[in-house]
Chain A
Amino acid sequence: MNPKVSHPRIKEFEVVTNPKIIKLLLDGTRKDIVFNYLVNEPMTVKQLSDAMKKKPGTVLHHVQKLKNAGIIQLVETRETPRGIVERYYRAVAREFRLGISERMSAYDDDTVASKDRVRAALLGLSTLGIHISESDFEHAHDLLQRLIDREAEVAKVYDSPSNHAFQSLPPSTRYDVSYRMSQFLLSQDALYRKTLSDWHDLISHYLRKIESEMV
């Protein structure tokens, strides 16, 4: 896109450990700016706003936040013949890896429960050595979200607050009954089985990667 702009060397990866910066990167627009565009090449606010179909003012605001956080840097300033002063920004690394403990502490428990349980679960997989890459993250998020949504719908079938007999069971018994019943109901759901299969494929891919790295 910008053949004339020199491409300064950037780091292969950057480990982000500051929870505030992690939260900053979880915003949709900022995530797009960094991972869809600025990891690939230097771009101006105008180019970003054209590519993302967003107002320049909005993009400028996000770019400034990312620059202040040290995720992106100003690499070049050029003046057009019309006098516009173009600033080219670029991500400081090609890939960003998040420190595990910091990733999890970016969420407090309430936030995880109410806001983004799926994202927290995906990040939590890092503790098992499964680092979902940025390119797979949205796909993984979508799969897991669909699984969780369907499981929640199925649970409503038997876990009704009006079923006093079920609710009065001891918690461990109630959990066992729920687990068996949900397993049965979900096994009957073709769409759920397909989503689960895709999810297993994704996890298997990462597990194979771990095995090959160990060899």
Chain B
Amino acid sequence: MSWPSNYPDPEDNDRKPAETSAAAPSPSGILKDFKVGFTLAVKNFLSFGLAMLGIILITILLLLLIVLFILIPILFTLGLPFLIQLVETIATGFQTTTGLTLVMLIMFLVLPILGPFFVALGAIFGMARELVESDGTQAESAFSWYGKRGLSLLGGGAIHFLITLAPLVIAFLAISYPTWNPPSDEELRVIIPLIVVWIILVNGMLSLTYPGIIDGLSAVKAAGRSVRLACQFPVRVLGAWLIITVLVTIPLIPVINEVAFLWAPIIPSDLLEPYGALAILTLLFVIVPAVSIVLTRIYMILTAKVDATYTQGADST
């Protein structure tokens, strides 16, 4: 125990007190995040472009490897007739299975296929981290993240996927057990917006998982930290995530609006094909790198504030 001092330590004027709360969040911080994100993404377009091409190639190869990893042992041990029978059984299974079994079957088949995409996205976040922290990156450095953080990135993607789908699985079970009882149109009017809100909110809360994994955390710890940061700084994290959702959705609306929303065509049908290609290329080569830079930057600034190492007031959040 010590006596309170009448002579407190002099204030250190060089060091601005670290902000550890979301007391003064302002939109200008988010706007700067996006300005910096898009500026760096465009300046490093070549590096990101080459990396993205390589990553797409590796993802295709990994998918082929996964398929071969499953098919070749079956072919050599059980033969082609068994394989054909297996495909037929799975196809029949999809038609006859309902409830939890069907959901599990779909997730079991989909997760390994999504795996390479999760790691590929993580590699882009690795490049973004190099860029945000050291103002430089190279296309080949994307591939080094496959080896360094590949498994954790896979785990991070799986966490996103499973948490996003969890309520949908529960809802599906609720309407399918004990008897198939689909929701009415009125119920769907409530359910669908709720699902959209859930998907946006959960992925927003988990949006800093990948930057956390790149920072050296395990997938679970990174997800936990992302949720904590989103709770402490909701305007910065969820605000940025809403903008990202809009940025990703808007270019795709003319392509998917007829199927998804049953709207009238926004652009003429003969322009739809070139527009779709252009939208996807923009998404892959500009928006995804920019978004990864934005989220990495937000993660680095917010963790510095939490750890009380952020000392410069250039950022206004």
| B15→A87 contact, CB < 8 A | no
| A76→B216 contact, CB < 8 A | no
| A77→B301 contact, CB < 8 A | yes
Residues of B within 8 A of A77 (CB): 300-301, 304, 309-312
User: Shortest CB–CB separation between residue A38 and chain B, in angstroms?
Assistant: 15
Q: Check if B182 is an interface residue, CB within 8 A of chain A.
A: no
Interface of A is mostly: mixed
| B311→A60 contact, CB < 8 A | no
User: Shortest CB–CB separation between residue A60 and chain B, in angstroms?
Assistant: 6
Size class of the B contact interface (CB-based, 8 Å): 20 to 34
Residues of A within 8 A of B141 (CB): 55-57
Closest to B136 in A: A56
User: Shortest CB–CB separation between residue A74 and chain B, in angstroms?
Assistant: 5
| B133→A82 contact, CB < 8 A | no
Residues of A within 8 A of B32 (CB): 83
| A56→B307 contact, CB < 8 A | no
Q: Check if B228 is an interface residue, CB within 8 A of chain A.
A: no
Q: Check if A86 is an interface residue, CB within 8 A of chain B.
A: yes
Name which of B35-43, B230-238, B249-257 contacts chain A: B35-43
Residues of B within 8 A of A74 (CB): 304, 307, 309
Closest to A86 in B: B133
Q: Known contacts A6-B311, A79-B312, A81-B314; is A45 also within 8 Å of B144 by CB?
A: no
User: Shortest CB–CB separation between residue A56 and chain B, in angstroms?
Assistant: 4
Q: A37 to B129, alpha carbons, bound, how many Å? A: 22
Q: Known contacts A68-B216, A76-B309; is A60 also within 8 Å of B134 by CB?
A: yes
Q: Check if B14 is an interface residue, CB within 8 A of chain A.
A: yes
| A60→B301 contact, CB < 8 A | no
Q: Known contacts A76-B311, A78-B312; is A84 also within 8 Å of B138 by CB?
A: no
User: Shortest CB–CB separation between residue A82 and chain B, in angstroms?
Assistant: 7
Q: Known contacts A55-B141, A68-B216; is A84 also within 8 Å of B132 by CB?
A: yes
Kindly supply a per-residue 1/0 record for chain B positions 295-309, scoring 1 wherever the CB is within 8 Å of any chain A CB and 0 otherwise.
001001100100101
Closest to B312 in A: A78
Q: A82 to B134, alpha carbons, bound, how many Å? A: 12
User: Shortest CB–CB separation between residue A44 and chain B, in angstroms?
Assistant: 7
| A60→B133 contact, CB < 8 A | yes
CB-contact partner of A79 in B137, B138, B315, under 8 A:
B315
Q: Check if A64 is an interface residue, CB within 8 A of chain B.
A: yes
User: Shortest CB–CB separation between residue B224 and chain A, in angstroms?
Assistant: 17
Residues of A within 8 A of B300 (CB): 77, 85, 87
Q: A85 to B299, alpha carbons, bound, how many Å? A: 10
Q: Known contacts A68-B216, A77-B309; is A83 also within 8 Å of B36 by CB?
A: yes
| A61→B148 contact, CB < 8 A | yes
Q: Check if A119 is an interface residue, CB within 8 A of chain B.
A: no
Interface set, chain A 30-70, CB cutoff 8 A to B? 44-46, 49, 55-61, 64-65, 67-68
For the complex of A and B, the 5 pairs showing the least CB-CB separation, nearest first, are A83-B36, A77-B304, A56-B134, A57-B141, A46-B134
